[in-house]
Amino acid sequence: MIPNKTQPVMPRLLQAIVQAFQQPDIRRRLLFTLAILTVFRFVAHVPIPGVDPDKLKQAFEGSAVLGYLNLFSGGALRRLSVAAMGVYPYITSTIIMQLLIPIVPSLQALSKEGEQGRNKITLYTYWLAVPLAVVQGYSQLLVLQNAGAVSGIGFKGSEALPTFAAVVSMTAGTMFLVWLGELITENGIGNGISLIIFGGIVAGMPSLLPSITSSSIGLAGIGLLVILVLVLVLAIVFFYEAQRRVPVQYARSLFRGGRMYRQSGQTHIPLRVNSAGMIPLIFAYSMVIFPATAAQAFENSTTTWVHNFSKFIAGTFSPGNAPYYSMVFFLVIAFAFFYTLVIFQQQNLAENLQRQGGFVPGIRPGRPTQDYIMRVLVRITWAGAIFLGFVAIVPFFATKFANAQSLTISSTGLLIVVGVVLDTMKQLEAQLLMRNYAGFIR
C-alpha cells in the first residue's frame, strides 16, 4: 500500500522508516551498515604501541592544528589509534587520480573502457593510497613528537623498529577502514567511504559540549550559535540541491508498419551549482594547514632565525587567525572552479550529446554547445564557490561574534555531514520506490 501523500512530513517519514525495516533486504542492508560503523568506532579506540595518554592530552590542549586534525579523525588522532588518519590518504589518492586522468593518456584511455577500465583505475587508487598513508602517518608522528606527545620517532638506532611498527599500524588502519567502506557500498546503504568520514565527524561532535558549557558566552550566545548552525544547515541543503537545468532535445527514428517516423523527446542536463561538493574545502584546508604543520617541525631548532621564523609561521597560519581564514576563503573559490572545470572536461557532455543525437535548442551541436554549457557552468559556479568560501570562514566570525575562542564550529564537517545524510536518504528513497513505497524526500 502506498502511503497518502497528503499526510504531514514527519508521519510520512516515520512510516517510510517503518516500511524500510519491514523489508527483509533493506533491513539487512541497514543493520549491516550500522554493524560496520560500530566496528569502525571500535578500531578508532585501538592505540598504536608506546602511547602515553597524558602527554597526548597536554599536546592537543596546546595546539590548534592538532585539534583541527583530530576533529576529522573522530577523536582517533587524540588517542593516536591505528585509525588516526581515517580514510583521508585514500581521499587524497582519489583526488590525485581524478586530476591525472585528463593529463595521462593511458589513464584517459582506461576511463573510456567502461567498467573494466574503472576497476583498474580504482586499483591504482588503492596502490597510491598506501605510500600516501605511510608519508602522512610518519609526518603526524613527527608533529606529535615536536609537540611532546610521543618520543623516539625516527629511523636511527633503537628508534627504527618502534617507528616502523607505528607507521605500519597507522597505514594498516587506514586501509582497513577503506575496506570497511567498500563493504558498506556493496552490501549496505549509502557510499561507504563517505559514511566512514561521517561517522568520524559525528563521533567527534560530543567532545565540543564541554567547550560550550565551560565558555563564558552564556545562554544568549549559545542560542545565537544554535540559530547560526540551523541557518547554515538550511543554506547547505539549498546549495547542495540547487541546479541549473539546460534543456536538451533528442531526435529519434521509429519504424512502424514499414514506415519511418521522426519523434523528438525533450529532457535536460542538470548542472549543479556546487558541482565540486566538499572537495575544494579539503584541498584548501590541506594547503593552508601545511605551513603551520611544517613550521612546528622546526620550532625546536637551535638556530635562532629558524626558530623565530617557524614560530611566526605557526602563529600566523594556525586555525583561528584572520590570515589563515583569508587564505582559506580565496583558495576554496579557486579550487571550486578548478575541480568543477576538470570534472566538466572529463564528462565530454557536448560530444556525448552529438553522438546520441541530442542538441540544446538554439545552439549548434559540437563546439558551440561545449562553449554554451561552459559559460552557464562558470556563471553558476560563482555562486557555489562563494558559498563554499563563506562556509569555510563561518567559524572565524562565529567565534569572534560569540566571544568563545575555545569553541570550534567545524562548518566543513557540517557540510560533509549534511551531504552524506542527503545522499544516504536518496539511496534509501530509491530502495523504497523500487518496492512501490513512497519515501520521505519530496
Does position 439 have pLDDT exceeding 60, yes or no? no
Pick from 330, 367, 334: nearest CA to 348: 367
User: Per the structure block, which three cell numbers stand in for 95?
Assistant: 583526488
pLDDT tens by residue, 416-436 = 788 788 777 777 777 777 766
Mean pLDDT of the chain: 76
pLDDT confidence of residue 128: 92
| The predicted structure's pLDDT at residue 225 | 73
- The predicted-structure confidence for 38-89, as pLDDT tens digits, reads as follows 999 888 888 887 677 777 777 776 566 666 666 666 567 777 888 888 888 8
The alpha carbon of residue 328 and the mean position of all alpha carbons in its chain are separated, in whole angstroms, by 16
Least confident of 107-116, 119-128, 179-188, 308-317: 308-317
Torsion of CA 61, 64, 68, 74, to 10 degrees: 0
- 244 and 380 in contact (C-beta within 8 Å)? yes
Q: Range with the lowest mean pLDDT among 63-67, 302-306, 393-397?
A: 63-67
**Residues 300, 301, 302, 307: is their CA dihedral positive or negative?**
negative
List pLDDT tens digits, range 187-206. 888 888 888 888 877 877 77
The sign one gets for the Cα dihedral 289, 290, 296, 299 is: negative
Whole-number percent of the chain with pLDDT over 90: 7
**Which phi and psi (to 5°) does residue 321 adopt?**
-100, 155
Q: What's residue 24's pLDDT?
A: 81
What lies within 8 Å, CB to CB, of 233 at 6+ separation is 414, 418
Question: What pLDDT does residue 73 have?
Answer: 66
Question: Considering only 213-222, 280-289, 310-319, which range has the smallest mean pLDDT?
Answer: 213-222
Domains of the chain: 1-215 (1.10.3370.10), 216-405 (1.10.3370.10)
**For 321-348, what is each residue's pLDDT tens digit?**
777 788 888 888 988 888 888 778 777 7
C-alpha cell at 148: 611532546
Return the higher-pLDDT residue of 229 and 34: 34
Model pLDDT, residue 3 = 43
